[in-house]
């Protein structure tokens, strides 16, 4: 099934759950409980092993995430109430959910299903630049991404202006920008011959009104597409987010729970991030009623997740959920370096390999820490998805992935704090044709060959 779990019983707890001052939730409830749970389940981070093979610890992380979600719940910042579920309810929601969905439409529909650890089935690949972009570049961006052969789903860049006017959240300008966003996505998909492509849309709509305004099966976001509903870091929500959850359920489209637990913040270190990723996934299923979870854990100082401190919790949480549930979840890469740098290609390859081997689907790639306008291209995402397909097809083990990850980390990890920003899209892509420049393509090909020599068996 794809129905939300007991929709109005759960939403009603925004009004009836335990009351808590917002300033008390994180320091007095969330953080102490997470520290207690990490200790109780004996979860230990090993920096020498970014891709562990410890099945028992993976199972303990699943148990720890379950306990964290049950005990902490989700805090509504508007009502100051905590939404909580019992063990019985969590079990029921997990039992009733589906492990696969057909998404997209017509000939472009794709089956998206749960993956296991070291699965031979390639990951579901959602291509996304995860950046803001100039209005005049938006359509070229859409064309460039939608031409990628391994694309199963597409999330377009975010518009900051529409018709030359600044888009302001919760204003008429947001509705206008959101309309432009989905119209251009639809036209680009039609022009490249993929009209039924699965869209995750629209990122330009920051407020619930913008999302609701573009729900339309003829010209807008279709019921065969998806929305992303964010969870506020850490473990908080708001009525505007819950409004989206209700709308998606009643409109009938797919939805995903977007979370970014912070390494070095309230989650603590790598152990806490791994536990939080599992708990967030249960939140997506039980409270938001989503069909999948999109996770982008990141480093407090660097804003990335390609170094070993983040690869470890990505690996362990993926294994925990793969072994103990039938949930769907995407690993959203956040790199330090920017477009047309070898460092970015190495980061993407490493993140995609680790994620794929440990049960994740892929969402690539937030270049330059998702911080700079126009600084992302389809080419780094292409390499990540090609790595994902390759390591799944060849049956790469976690042990093999760990060895290759250590070699890749040696090529870029020391430069995480001062990574090169690279160049903007229009400097390494032909905007009119939506193709990479020869120099950009040659760099991608060079790094791909180097990754192949490390043991990734690309099919082409």
CA distance 286 to 354: 27
Asked whether the beta carbons of 136 and 420 are under 8 A apart, the reply is no
Asked whether the beta carbons of 379 and 147 are under 8 A apart, the reply is no
Per-residue pLDDT of the chain (460 residues), as tens digits, is 467 999 999 999 999 999 999 999 999 999 999 999 999 999 999 999 999 999 999 999 999 999 999 999 999 999 999 999 999 999 999 999 999 999 999 999 999 999 999 999 999 999 999 999 999 999 999 999 999 999 999 999 999 999 999 999 889 999 999 999 999 999 999 999 999 999 999 999 988 999 999 999 999 999 999 999 999 999 999 999 999 999 999 999 999 999 999 999 999 999 999 999 999 999 999 999 999 999 999 999 999 999 999 999 999 999 999 999 999 999 999 999 999 999 999 999 999 999 999 999 999 999 999 999 999 999 999 999 999 999 999 999 999 999 999 999 999 999 999 999 999 999 999 999 999 999 999 999 999 999 999 999 999 9
What is the SS3 string spanning 400-459? HHHHHHHHHHHHHHHHHHHCCCCCCHHHHEECCCCEECHHHHHHHHHHHHHHHHCCCCCC
Nearest 5°: the CA angle 298, 279, 114 is 90
Q: Where are the domains of the chain?
A: 100-453
Tell which residue, 241, 324, 345, 292, has the closest CA to residue 124.
Answer: 292
Bridge partners of 257, per DSSP, are 229, 293
**Cα–Cα distance list, 57 to 50, 118, 271, 311, 440 (Å):** 14, 17, 11, 16, 42
Asked whether the beta carbons of 77 and 242 are under 8 A apart, the reply is no
Distance of CA 164 to the CA centre of its chain: 30
CA distance 231 to 276: 12
Q: Which residue has the tokens 């969402």?
A: 363
pTM score, two decimals?
0.97
What is the SS3 string spanning 362-409? EEEEEHHHHCCCCCCCHHHHHHHHHHHHHHHHCCCCHHHHHHHHHHHH
- The 3-state DSSP class for residue 289 equals coil
Distance of CA 152 to the CA centre of its chain: 14
Q: Which residue has the tokens 């740098």?
A: 341
100-453 placed in CATH 3.40.50.720? no
Asked whether the beta carbons of 175 and 209 are under 8 A apart, the reply is yes
């Amino acid at each position: 099934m794809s129905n939300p779990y007991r929709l109005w019983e759960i939403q009603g707890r925004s009004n009836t759950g335990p009351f808590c001052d917002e300033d008390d939730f994180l320091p007095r409830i969330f953080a102490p409980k997470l520290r207690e749970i990490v200790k109780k389940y004996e979860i230990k981070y090993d920096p020498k092993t970014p891709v562990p093979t410890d099945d028992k610890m993976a199972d303990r992380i699943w148990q720890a995430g379950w306990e964290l979600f049950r005990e902490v719940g989700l805090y509504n910042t508007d009502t100051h109430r905590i939404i909580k579920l019992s063990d019985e309810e969590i079990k029921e929601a997990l039992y009733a959910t589906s492990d696969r969905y057909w998404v997209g439409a017509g000939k472009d529909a794709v089956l998206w299903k749960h993956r296991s650890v070291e699965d031979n089935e390639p990951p579901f690949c959602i291509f996304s630049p995860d950046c803001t972009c100039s209005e005049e570049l938006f359509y070229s961006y859409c064309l460039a991404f939608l031409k990628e052969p391994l694309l199963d789903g597409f999330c377009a860049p975010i518009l900051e202006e529409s018709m030359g006017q600044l888009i302001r959240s919760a204003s008429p300008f947001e509705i206008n920008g959101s309309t432009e966003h989905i119209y251009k996505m639809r036209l680009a998909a039609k022009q490249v011959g993929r009209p039924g492509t699965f869209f995750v849309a629209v990122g330009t709509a920051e407020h619930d009104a913008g999302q609701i305004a573009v729900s339309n099966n003829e010209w807008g976001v279709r019921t065969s597409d998806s929305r992303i509903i964010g969870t506020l870091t850490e473990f908080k929500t708001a009525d505007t987010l819950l409004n989206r959850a209700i709308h998606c359920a009643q409109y009938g489209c797919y939805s995903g729970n977007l979370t970014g637990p912070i390494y070095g913040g309230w989650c603590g270190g790598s152990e806490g991030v791994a536990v939080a990723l599992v708990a967030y996934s249960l939140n997506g299923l039980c409270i938001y009623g989503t069909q999948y979870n999109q996770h982008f854990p990141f480093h407090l100082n660097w804003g990335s997740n390609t170094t070993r401190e983040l690869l470890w919790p990505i690996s362990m949480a993926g294994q925990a959920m793969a072994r103990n549930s039938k949930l769907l979840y995407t690993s959203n890469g956040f790199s330090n370096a920017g477009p047309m740098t070898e460092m970015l290609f190495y980061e993407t390859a490493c993140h995609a390999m680790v994620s794929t081997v440990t049960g994740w689907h892929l969402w690539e790639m937030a270049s330059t820490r998702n911080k700079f306008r126009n600084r992302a291209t389809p080419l780094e995402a292409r390499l990540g998805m090609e790595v994902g397909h390759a390591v799944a097809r060849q049956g790469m083990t976690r042990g093999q992935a760990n060895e290759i990850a250590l070699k890749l980390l040696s090529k870029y990890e020391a430069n995480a704090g001062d990574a090169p920003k690279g160049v903007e899209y229009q400097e390494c892509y032909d905007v009119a044709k939506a193709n990479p420049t020869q120099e950009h393509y040659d760099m991608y090909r060079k790094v791909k060959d180097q990754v192949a020599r490390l043991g990734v068996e690309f099919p082409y």
